[in-house]
Amino acid sequence: MKHIHDEFNQAQKSGTLSRRKFIAASGLLLAGTVLKVDGADQYYNEPEPIIDIHQHMDYHGRNSDDLLIHQRAMGITTTILLPAGRPVISASTNYGESNGMEAKITGNHVARKFVKKHPKEFFFAANEVPDLPVAVKEIEKYLKRGAVAIGELKFAVPCDSPEMQKIYQLAQEYNVPVLMHWQHGRFNFGLERFHSMLEKFPKVNFIGHAQTWWANIDRYNNQTDLYPKGKVTPGGWTDRLLSDYHNMYGDLSAGSGLNALTRDDEHARAFFTRHQDKLMYGSDCADANGLDTALCQGGQTISAIRKLSPTKQIERKLLYENAQKLFSLK
């Protein structure tokens, strides 16, 4: 689809394709229909579907039109929006520093409202600050309204705290996955203890994401190094959790996921083979158009998955099939 992206990019730069026309045209492109750009009929085959399990509303101020453009330009056919919890001043939000997931991301009602406008392309998760007395009730309200997951849980709390366990119990009752942001010293403390939660809640599917999750593909990882480079020695906590627990999955999104793939091509290919049924594509990028893979980290991750997947079958699992199955998407 690179030639299509180039056409869109050129049209945008030249001013011949407005945002409104771009949204309409990109929607037709995803449907595999005739696309009219600058008066010429262009015919494209229907693209292979891609599910993005990790995007946000108002991410660093990006508006909803630009989000729609971004996802369509990358070729994403289905997106799961991860809202933030409400803004509060508490230890769990690093006394307000982490409100909006440190990125101006808005909450449940905003994500749900957008999904109602674009029900064929977008789904949403439910979230709340876990140690608020209303946390479980708030998350449950949006699960009842159609949320397909809980997360992204990005809070300064122990991963095995009573408050978090109440959320895991809720996920078990509603049979939805839980997506967690692991960052040493900042969010979800205690990755080395998380196996106990996987054992206590065997019916809950957990999805690992972010710096500490991806740094720990390496057996010899230094926990203070959030973006380690160089060759990987297999057998780190992440590798073992994915291997040993049926209910542990991995979200390939963000710079941390991309770094884990590109730091060691040989390891990435073996990792994909070993965990081909456990890994899912996510973008988690905040750029405005999704066209330029030199700037769009989500596009770079798609390229890395295609380059490093040992087989086409594994590629399709990572970009589509695993997420479709785990989130029960149609």
pLDDT at residue 306 above 50? yes
Whether 64 and 30 share a structural domain: no
Q: Give residue 34's pLDDT.
A: 32
Residue numbers of the domain that contains 7: 1-46
Residue 53 has pLDDT above 70, yes or no: yes
Strands 40-43 and 34-37: antiparallel
Task: Calculate the average pLDDT of the chain.
Answer: 90
33 plus 147 within the same structural domain: no
Domain count, the chain: 2
As a whole number, mean pLDDT of residues 31-54 equals 57
Considering only 40-54, 173-187, 194-208, which range has the smallest mean pLDDT? 40-54
Residues 24 and 56 both lie in one domain: no
- 322 and 283 share one domain: yes
When mean pLDDT is compared across 40-44, 54-58, 233-237, 271-275, the lowest value belongs to 40-44
Q: Residue 37: is its pLDDT beyond 60?
A: no
**96 and 86 belong to one structural domain:** yes
Per-residue confidence (pLDDT) for residue 139, from 0 to 100: 98
What's the Cα-to-Cα distance from 98 to each of 82, 92, 214, 284, rounded to whole Å?
Answer: 15, 8, 21, 17
Q: Are residues 187 and 309 in the same domain?
A: yes
Confidence band, pLDDT 50/70/90 cuts, at residue 290: confident
- Same domain for 116 and 150: yes
Same domain, 40 and 72: no
The mean pLDDT of 310-319, rounded to a whole number, is 98
Here the CATH number for the domain that contains residue 148 is 3.20.20.140
For residues 159 and 200, is the Cβ–Cβ distance under 8 A? no
Mean pLDDT calculated for residue range 79-95: 97
- Assess whether 221 and 138 both reside in one domain: yes
Q: pLDDT value at position 146?
A: 98
Query: What proportion of the chain, given as a percentage, has pLDDT over 70?
Result: 86
Report residue 23's pLDDT band, with 50, 70 and 90 as the boundaries: low
Same domain, 33 and 66: no
Based on the fold, state whether residues 215 and 281 are members of the same structural domain. yes
Assess whether 30 and 124 both reside in one domain.
no
Predicted local distance difference test score (pLDDT) of residue 295: 84
Lowest mean pLDDT, pick from 87-91, 222-226, 292-296: 292-296
State pTM to two decimals.
Answer: 0.89
> Tokens at residue 248, please?
């542990």
Pinpoint the alpha helices (H) of the chain: 2-14, 19-31, 64-74, 108-117, 135-144, 162-174, 195-200, 211-215, 237-244, 254-262, 265-274, 297-308, 312-316, 322-326
Answer with the residue of higher pLDDT: 78 or 8.
78
